[in-house]
Amino acid sequence: MTNLLLSDWNTPFGLAPFDCISDEDFAPAFEVALDEHKTEIEAIAGNTDAPTFANTIEALEGAGRALDKVLSVFFTVAGADSTPAREALQRAFSPKLAAHSAWVTSNKALFSRVETLWSQRDELDLSDEQQRVLMLTHRGFVRAGAALEGEADARMSAIKSRLAVLGTEFTQNLLADEREWVMELAEVDLEGLPDFLVNAARAAGAEMGKGPVITLSRSLATPFLQSSPRRGLRETVWLAFTARGANGHDNRPIAAETLALRQERAQLLGYDSFADYKLKTEMAGDPQSVRNLLTAVWEPAKARAEADAVTLEAMMHEDGVNGRLEPWDWHYYAAKLRRKQHDLDEAALKPYLQLDRMIEAAFSCAGRLFGLEFAPLDVPLYHPDCRAWEVTRNGQHIAVFIGDYFARGSKRSGAWCSAMRSQAKHPDAQAPVVINVCNFAKSDPALLSYDDARTLFHEFGHALHQMLSDVTYESISGTSVARDFVELPSQLFEHWLEVPEVLEEFATHAETGQPMPKAMLDKVLKAANFDQGFQTVEYVASALVDLEFHSGKPPADPMARQVEILEGLGMPHQIAMRHATPHFAHVFSGDGYSSGYYSYMWSEVMDADAFAAFEEAGSPFDEGMAAALEENILSKGGSVDAAELYTRFRGRLPGVDALLKGRGLTPA
């Protein structure tokens, strides 16, 4: 029988026929596609004709299509709907892929062709985009170790292979901890919890054949910490949530080995530290620039958090609870303070934030800004919770968008956007297939917290970056940009959730259908910066630990080093890092955000300034600004340097003041 993963898909928009693909298809398809890519690489490297952009760079761009096709399906289901079989496949594929990648970049004949073209770049008749692709290709080979020889070359290959294994183990350990931990609730434990949380806890328990439960899904754990009057249960949940990756599946030795191997990798390439290596190609450029940004934000955030802690501790004492405020108390008393200061109750707010209506809101904003339209598609997808839409503009097909919104035990935590197929024009025109994956609590109807709604808009901002991409080559398409630039479109799109007219139209009550009362809407917007001291401290602490982990000698004991860094910062004891080392998947599941967790804040400096451009233009839906945003940023992918793209859009680069003002951290 023909393996569907290796066949042409006669499906709507060339979507993967998920209903016909089985786990047994992946391994044989992977081996065939891997061999095919090897053959393609050998043909390019062994070409006896003089190297040209077409026969080398464009040939590399076109190679590996079958492998990309197989892996796009596999990694989609492995991350969002894992099974023991898929986890085993991932453990098998990861070292093979790392070895294959190392084989490609260590191919001396291939690198010689790329190097020749790079040396001739000023004499070649190339477009700006082609020059950019040539530069990135050459840089990618060099940074992968293509210029290394002998033992150094072999060691680099071994390091990359081992890092791939460690990243997979880290991810799977974390998923196992999150999947296996559960706290069953007696009926008395439900007292004081809002209806939406009780319903979500019962639904989560029903899937396990139990009564109501709290799992380590953020959409259950956080509202429980905010609303449960039972301090002992809050402590149990908080301790389990912050110990993910060390609850029973220990990621700590994996983190230590990963840091040591990354440092060795950087030194093989001539860098003092992994942070120096990693940041060389980012907007920040070097570790000190990152440290300067984070330090500028840390002090005012810490001061705000410490002042808030005094207030919260006093509230706790008023409740008759003696002693100091603990981390498992913060969410509970912050929620009380929010109700007191802003008369805003999450339980009263949630019915106005229906998932379906928030999806409509995101689509509506994309329509008003960029002329996009979304029509539901009835196509087979990898899980019944998924849904799909065709995206068009002026009747022309732009993309397929897939949403997978609900938490489940088979899905890794967090939220992400990925492209099963990226936009490109070469060698053939292809429209993107983009997926947003979230972990919202499932209920009927599905209701979101305000943070959930913000997450939905955030991931959809990434999706817009993919869908509106308009470049020739896939390697620079969509979100293939500097790590500290990639969060700009996503964080910028969050601002439209706070546009009053958007909430007025789409924040309608789940039972009555009535729009959110203006008084509540005003409270929501006024409370937007509530608890920013806490949120900024937990984020910046994580970013600084990531940076220091990768600067200088790698720690033999990352947990001890984590404590040392936090003590040096004067970390308030009532606040924990947003991502402690054992569950810091951004940093240890792969190289993506290693030395780069700061990038959310680096991008926030720009997103605050970018939205101000719309405000200065007089409307959040100003047509001219929307066109400029698409032309200069969303459509360009990585075809132009990130700083230049932002300067084209705004006329200058922003300073940190816009961020501090946006977070409400400037002195009153």
CA dihedral 182, 188, 190, 192 (to 10 degrees): -140
C-alpha pair distances (Å), 497 with each of 363, 442, 461, 492, 640: 11, 21, 11, 10, 29
CA dihedral 447, 451, 457, 463 (to 10 degrees): -100
Sign of dihedral through CA atoms 490, 494, 496, 502?
Answer: positive
The torsion angles phi and psi of 403, rounded to 5 degrees, stand at: -115, 130
Name the residue among 92, 274, 75, 85 with its Cα closest to residue 169.
92
| Token pair of 457 as six digits | 């808009």
C-alpha pair distances (Å), 462 with each of 161, 434, 591: 29, 9, 19
Place of tokens 């960029």: 370
The torsion angles phi and psi of 184, rounded to 5 degrees, stand at: -80, 145
459 labelled catalytic: yes
Contacts of 224 (CB under 8 A, 6+ apart): 193, 197, 201, 214, 233, 234, 237
Name the residue among 375, 437, 379 with its Cα closest to residue 411.
437
| Token pair of 253 as six digits | 């030795």
Distance CA 295, CA 358 (A): 35
Catalytic site residue from 61, 178, 459, 494: 459
Residue type, 20: C
The torsion angles phi and psi of 197, rounded to 5 degrees, stand at: -75, -40
Contacts of 314 (CB under 8 A, 6+ apart): none
Q: Which residues are part of the catalytic machinery? A: 459
